[in-house]
Amino acid sequence: MNEKNNRKAALDRQIQRLGRHIDRLQQRSNRLSTLRLLVFLMGFAASVAIGLMDLLIGWMVVVTWLVIFAVVVRLHNRLTNTLTRYQLLQQLKQTHVARIQLDWEKIPMLAVENPGSSHPFALDLDVFGKNSLHQLIDTSVSYEGSLRLMNWLLTVEPDYAQIQRRQNLLRELIPMKLFREKLILAARQVGEKRWHGQPLINWMTQDVEKPISMHFLRLTTGLAVLHVILFILYSTEILPPGVWLAAFAVYAAVYGSGWRSNMFGTAKSLHDLIRQLNAIFRHVEAYDFPHTPYLKSLCQPFRDQETRPSTLLERLNRVLAAASIQGNPIFWLALNVILPWDLYAAYALQKIRAALRTSFACWMDAFFELEALCSLANFAYLNPEYTFPSVVDTTEVTFKGEQLGHPLISYTEKICNDFSFSRSGETVIITGSNMAGKSSFLRTLGLNLCLAYAGGVVNAAHFRVSLFRLFTCIRVSDSVTDGISYFYAEVKRLKSLLEALRADHPYPLFFLIDEIFRGTNNRERLIGSRAYIKALAGHRGVGAISTHDLELVKLADDIPDVVNKHFREQIMDGQMVFDYLLRDGPCPTTNALKIMAMEGLPIGEEAVLIPK
């Protein structure tokens, strides 16, 4: 853990150093704000006073004043941008520290769609939602990048080729801390909120309704030139007003037939997002990607000299800026009376959309992929003790982990354990007292499988695993609206698990079951659990089942594929102490009566003696 502590200490020093820079920049910004106000007031007063005495000198003072004021404003804006960049970088570093310390309140969370109760493991393993693995890892600025990361973590059927590809990409990305941080800052400096990219993709790729043709544009331009010439002739009293008015009426009618009120509506609503993407794409384009062939290949769509994203998006920004004069109705009306300004802008906009149509979706897909990869790379960077798993594409069941830990438990508190399966069909029964760590250990196995199949690092010193389908039954809940009791919900879940185990599928099943049949009475729970475990053992899969029923450990005597392991506790100085170490064999102790007695509850005269 020394390397992780060193990394956190380095982040703390960077945060303090950035804080000092921010304080100095804030002081300079305050001084420039005061200077900006003084220049404005003094320049205005001087211009008025001197202008009243000498109009020519007064105009010269106005020009000088405006130049000086523009310079001060430009300097202030540049300083403000620098200050914002430092503040965002400090916030990013603080979030890194929060991710290391699992300070959930300081880790941003994006609300994503619930995968639903039918998903084989999403609800049981804390993969998504509040205080989840997804929240801990996700650094995306787009909804789609965040969603792609979640889909990787929730992979039901792992893809060996994709796992290897992502591992190769991550090995290149992990050391590129500056590249990753600049990518995030490039997006957040334009807009700090997360955004949805799909509306922009839809707008870019869909056909333009009622496109404006070049012939129509030339016609309206000719009519505009004609009515302006006729207006000049009318103004010089060469022609009567009726001729100009007739020409203007024709121009207005033709212009009106091609003009639409929503001509720029969607584009304007996406303007900020386009500026944000332009900043992001420029950052990716400018990077050379030396000695990183996998990343270079991923980012190749951004590096085509003929269709560089930033060049086309900059053209799009200029067109949208030209269309923004609609915000000034008087100036907009005057300009469109002289020439068909909106038609020019709309024509230019549809030409750029046509140029972007074939490439834009490809750019966005590469960016979403890069975002998800950067999240996993940052997770690996903040957890240097984590390792890449050795994922093997073999028909043999392989699962061997050394020092497996729970990624959602603080590194100062977690206990790691070795665990492995030796053969297909093996079922491990984990017994132990209340709070001994059984459920957390099941999630440890499941979460590390999710990370491995996403292509990321795992919380283990060494982890070798083959491809499995993961299925869990840990967090079962009843449903009042559907009229389903807890026990019935558990029965349905376990039925689905058994069906998945028996299904004809190239990948074996990896199952995790917590407190099997806890929703019924002791006698029927024991009978049902025995029958169910016998049905699991020996099939094409492996798994672990936690239980309080010590009677179930006897199944290992009759079924060769059943193995017992346990957690235990000790009473020291009147307190219950857990070491959270997984041991072989059945649990030799129980603690329910001990806990009841320690909390002052009656336990009955027939209870065993509780050690003090």
Model pLDDT for residues 313-352, shown as the tens digit of each residue = 888 888 887 777 777 788 878 888 888 888 888 888 888 8
Residue 140, pLDDT score: 92
- Cβ neighbours of residue 406 closer than 8 Å, sequence gap 6 or more: 414, 440, 441, 443, 444, 447, 459
Is the per-residue pLDDT at 597 higher than 80?
no
Could you tell me the residue ranges of all domains in the chain? 1-101, 209-368, 390-598
Whether 269 has a pLDDT exceeding 60, the answer reads: yes
Does 105 have pLDDT greater than 80? Answer: yes
pLDDT band, residue 593 (cuts 50/70/90): low
Alpha-carbon distance of 236 to 328, in angstroms, equals 30
In this predicted structure, what is the pLDDT of residue 468? Answer: 96
Q: Average pLDDT of the chain?
A: 86
- Strand pairing class (427-431; 541-547): parallel
| C-alpha span between 184 and 90 (Å, rounded) | 12
Mean pLDDT throughout 372-392? 96
Mean pLDDT of 469-497: 76
CA–CA distance, 317 with 327 (Å, rounded to integer): 16
Task: State percent of the chain over pLDDT 90.
Answer: 43
User: Across the strands, what pairs with 430?
Assistant: 546, 565
Half-sphere exposure of 583 (CA within 13 A, CB side): 16
Structure tokens at 502: 């028996």
For residue 478, pLDDT over 50 is answered with no
For the cut 70, the answer to whether the pLDDT of residue 165 exceeds it is yes
What local confidence, expressed as pLDDT, does residue 309 receive? 86
When mean pLDDT is compared over 310-314, 504-508, 546-550, the highest value belongs to 504-508
- Which pLDDT score, from 0 to 100, does residue 596 have? 57
* pLDDT interval class at 161 (50, 70, 90): very high
Could you give the CA distance from residue 586 to residue 566 in angstroms, rounded to a whole number?
A: 6
Residue 328: its pLDDT value, please?
Answer: 74
State how far the alpha carbon of 363 is from the alpha carbons of 200, 302, 307, 580, in Å. 12, 7, 11, 48
User: Measured between alpha carbons, how far is 243 from 221 in angstroms, rounded to an integer?
Assistant: 18
Mean pLDDT of all residues in 509-521: 85
User: Is residue 423 a contact partner of residue 561, using CB atoms and an 8 Å limit?
Assistant: yes
Minimal CA–CA distance to 326: which of 372, 271, 364?
271
Q: Is the pLDDT of residue 96 over 60?
A: yes
Beta bridge partners of 277: none
**pLDDT tops 50 at residue 175:** yes
More confident residue, 588 or 468: 468
* CATH classification for the domain delimited by 390-598, as one of 3.20.20.70, 3.30.70.260, 1.20.58.110, 3.40.50.300: 3.40.50.300
- Res 559 pLDDT > 80: yes
Query: Does residue 121 carry a pLDDT above 80?
Result: yes
